[in-house]
Structure 1
């Protein structure tokens, strides 16, 4: 064996070969999977299951004429990959940093205790199905199990059923196929991140769901942060059982074309987004994950769910804005009032028809109040000529004060009343022949006329609450409230339909 076997350039540099290494060197050219064992070897592993990382590197880079791997690349199953790199190197494990690997690199159900270094490497496919990466140490002592920043894998990366103690890094990696992690478990290292795929590009599908491991279905687990910030994947397939814990999901800038597996309802996906805690990493609220989810749901045909997501985003963003800016006093009151108005009237512009409900409620209250005021004589004509006419003036009281009336007034009053015993002045007025052409009061139409600015039923022009009575004063005050609320809600509804509120 050479002094620096990790950089061996001839097969002779690795002599004497270990038993498993002889098998691999003998059969590598066939392109078949070289089976060293049927399961993940123990640690420590017997010598007949061990293969040096330096030999894997040598073969992956082409080997020799007699041991050159076939077109499918290096394919090993059930081996212990023994780290034998230089003591002062970044890793004593498999180091292919910046290398162009011939074909695939398949290390299935292997135990790889030392960090795999594949930064800026180029290969066709990386398959670590069922393998155990990193040493079995407490999480706080674990480092990085797989460092593959900038990896270029045309066929993708497969971590199905894999178990990594330490961070798996795929920052800026370009995967032409899928990133499959079904049933895998990744325990975070010192960085706090389990799978860090920041700015990673996956042309195919990102699988993060339950999978069968040793005959048992297990969820994919990230014991630490699942970081997908800035990543871009074709499709997303996951399940709720595999979602990380609260605060361990980072999706800012994460883009995906469709959700082709897992829940698609707004309620479920909002619980997914709620797993994010930007403050945990010292950042403000992230609106992009909500915008992205709404976009995907809308393109998938789930328009109602998309609106729910955007409404939730507005609620959280407004709350974050108030907390971040630190409003005080009247500014806080005004900001909160405006937020409340937009939320409960038109849902921030995403449900403009929702404004009909408060309009209907205000209309109904008006119907009851105006009807009560009318029945108690708390209305009067809304016309200066009518208010000065004999038909109205001579009906001013129900019990005429004879001592204060002239003979002519008494005779006229008596002629009009004729002992009918009117309860209110307005009853007397309506019963006069001269007033029968005056429009009849209808509380439902009157409330609608006051409330909706685009509706003109003319009842306001003829009748008005009489502020001389207590009930009339209340009705008059509500009359102004209705006018203001009608204009405000109508304008908000129009703004919602036109998109002006959402654009703001």
Structure 2
């Protein structure tokens, strides 16, 4: 059908069978506001308008009711598509109430003001130049795949609003969606199994996460990207109503900054990231990914919060030991890096430990110097006129200096030749203690020096 002006099936229009506009071209608007479509075809569709071309608006407003699905696949609407207050009381044989896959809309799409659908709303690969407004929509049905809103690959030039009491009995799917404005998620109800599947979604402005109640279903934001993540962490929103452990997917989710009236602390954000891990059991090993930690640390670092960024970086290594699939040897190495230099972020710990060991060896050497023959020459002194002792210097043999001796014992890269010339006497009283302590101090010196070197050179951080 071709219509040079508008087509009006409004006010008290009633139909006992299906209404078909497939392939029609209407130069004006198609207005079905308040129409009552009580019949349907064999596919349970009440209005069939596939590939329709409407230069103006397509209006299904003011308590428009349909006892079957509304199908507008591939439609081209120059103005708005408005279903404000529409009542789609019966779904088709696949469980869909509004089917608009591949639709192109030059203005806004309104599914708001208590819009109700007894089946899924399909907008897969739709191209909407304006906004998609589903504020207060009631999607109380779902299709055969348990979806309430299917918008895979949708392109929206403005905002997408799923707020103000928006309810969905089935899953909201926005995988691969391209939203040039903001996405406002403020639902009062989402399903308990799969709540939001938005893998690969791109939002140019804000993702506002503001559910009215706790979300318990899976929220998948893997590979999604947003410019700003806005959520609220005040007392009325415990954990900002993000889903519990194991129900949040954040791998490759990127964002530039945070916003909101009550910003999360870095500890809260760390707990938010940890929701990405499943509960670890022998039969169900925990999953672990470094990217969510690195992304969070980068945002804090760019905001000038370097201390918080370091804490996140340290927590990533600690969680790798707890949640990651490490061999026993690597777990031991991870634990050692944690307890010593915090994976290179607190290298001063190794330096402080080295200084402590040096001080202990110095004090021990000072005591041993004045203990009966506890420190003796390491070389043969029989040819000398008189035997040197730790407290007595002679001209032909190096003197014993406790400070220098401690350097030789503790710091492996420095050689002042004290150890070459002096050694603990294991045969004297407590000689075994001095000898054993020297060996332990040398081992600790090597270990702490190595940790300090790898820490300051950044080798541990780049692992």
Partner of 1:88: 93
1-structure distance, mates of 2:120, 2:421: 88
User: Which residue in the other structure is 2:187 paired with?
Assistant: 184
Q: Please say if residues 102 and 125 of structure 2, whose CA atoms lie closer than 8 Å, have aligned partners that are also in contact.
A: yes
Which of 122, 128, 149 in structure 1 is aligned with 2:127?
A: 122
Aligned to 1:143: 146
Q: What residue is the counterpart of 2:337 in the other structure?
A: 342
Q: Which residue matches 1:41?
A: none
Contact 2:140 / 2:170 at 8 angstroms: preserved in 1?
Answer: yes
Partner of 1:247: 246
How far does residue 224 in structure 1 lie from its aligned partner after superposition?
Answer: 0.5
Q: Is residue 56–residue 74 contact of structure 1 (8 Å, CA) maintained in 2? A: no
The runs of 5 or more residues in structure 2 that have no matched partner are 1-14, 38-54
Distance 1:465 1:502 in 2: 40
Asked which structure has the greater CA Rg, the reply is 1
Aligned residue for 1:392, secondary structure, equals coil
Question: How many aligned positions are there?
Answer: 414
More displaced 10-residue stretch of structure 1: 377-386 or 303-312:
377-386
* 2:228 alignment partner in structure 1: 235
Query: Higher relative contact order at CA 8 Å, sep ≥6: structure 1 or structure 2?
Result: 1
Cα distance per residue 1:256-283 (max 9 Å; x no partner): 2222346464322111112122468877
Provide the C-alpha distance between the structure 1 equivalents of 2:269 and 2:302, rounded to a whole number of angstroms. 15
| 1:463 aligned onto 2:422 | yes
Cα separation, partners in 2 of 1:35 and 1:449, compared to 1, 3 Å: farther
Aligned match of 1:497 in 433, 456, 462?
456
Alignment correspondent of 1:301: 304
Contact 1:171 1:196 in 2 (8 A): yes
Q: Kindly tell me: are residues 13 and 255 of structure 1, through their superposed partners in 2, closer, same or farther at Cα, counting changes over 3 Å?
A: closer
2:174 to 170, 179, 182: 170
Question: How far apart are residue 53 of structure 1 and its match?
Answer: 9.1
Give the match for residue 268 of structure 2.
268
Which residue does the alignment assign to 2:19?
A: 5
Give the secondary structure class of the aligned counterpart of 2:206.
Answer: strand
Alignment-derived partner of residue 52 in structure 2: none
Are 2:61 and 2:86, in contact at CA under 8 Å, matched by a contact in 1?
no
Map 1:35-434 to 2 at 5 A: 49-52=63-66, 71=79, 73-75=80-82, 77=84, 79-83=85-89, 87-91=92-96, 93-113=97-117, 114-124=119-129, 125-135=131-141, 143-161=146-164, 162-181=166-185, 183-188=186-191, 192-209=193-210, 218=212, 221-240=214-233, 241=237, 242=240, 243-261=242-260, 263=263, 265-278=265-278, 284-321=287-324, 324=325, 327=327, 332=328, 334-377=329-372, 379-386=374-381, 389=384, 391-392=386-387, 430=392, 434=394
Does the 8 Å contact 1:5/1:84 carry over to 2?
no
Q: Which sits farther off after the overlay, 340-349 or 3-12?
A: 3-12
More helix by share: 1
Preserved contact between residue 69 and residue 88 of structure 2 (Cα < 8 Å): no
Distance in 1 (CA, whole Å) between partners of 2:188 and 2:362 is 64
Question: 1:96: Cα distance to partner?
Answer: 0.8
Q: For residue 461 of structure 2, give the secondary structure of its aligned residue in structure 1.
A: helix
Equivalent position SS for 1:494:
helix
| 8 A Cα contact 2:83 2:115, kept in partner | no
CA distance, structure 1, for counterparts of residue 285 and residue 31 of structure 2 = 51
8 Å CA contact retained: 2:228, 2:257: yes
Separation (CA, whole Å) in 2 of partners of 1:282 and 1:438: 62
CA deviations 1:395-423 (Å, max 9, x no partner) are xxxxxxxxxxxxxxxxxxxxxxxxxxxxx
Shift of 1:387: 6.5
Distance of 1:155 and 1:284 partners within structure 2: 36
TM-score by length of 2: 0.76
Once residues 4 and 30 of structure 1 are traced to their aligned partners in structure 2, the CA distance between those partners, rounded to angstroms, is: 23
Alpha-carbon separation, structure 1, partners of 2:342 and 2:373: 38
Measured after TM superposition, the shift of residue 197 of structure 1 is 0.4
Q: Tell me, which stretches of 5 or more residues in structure 1 are unaligned?
A: 20-28, 37-48, 64-68, 211-217, 394-424
Report the aligned-residue RMSD. Answer: 3.9
Specify the alignment match of 1:409 in structure 2.
none
2:441 equivalent in structure 1: 482
TM-score, normalised with respect to structure 1: 0.70
Taking the aligned partners of 2:417 and 2:288, their CA distance within structure 1 comes to: 51
Measure the CA separation in 2 of the matches of 1:16 and 1:260.
42
SS of match in other structure, 2:152: coil
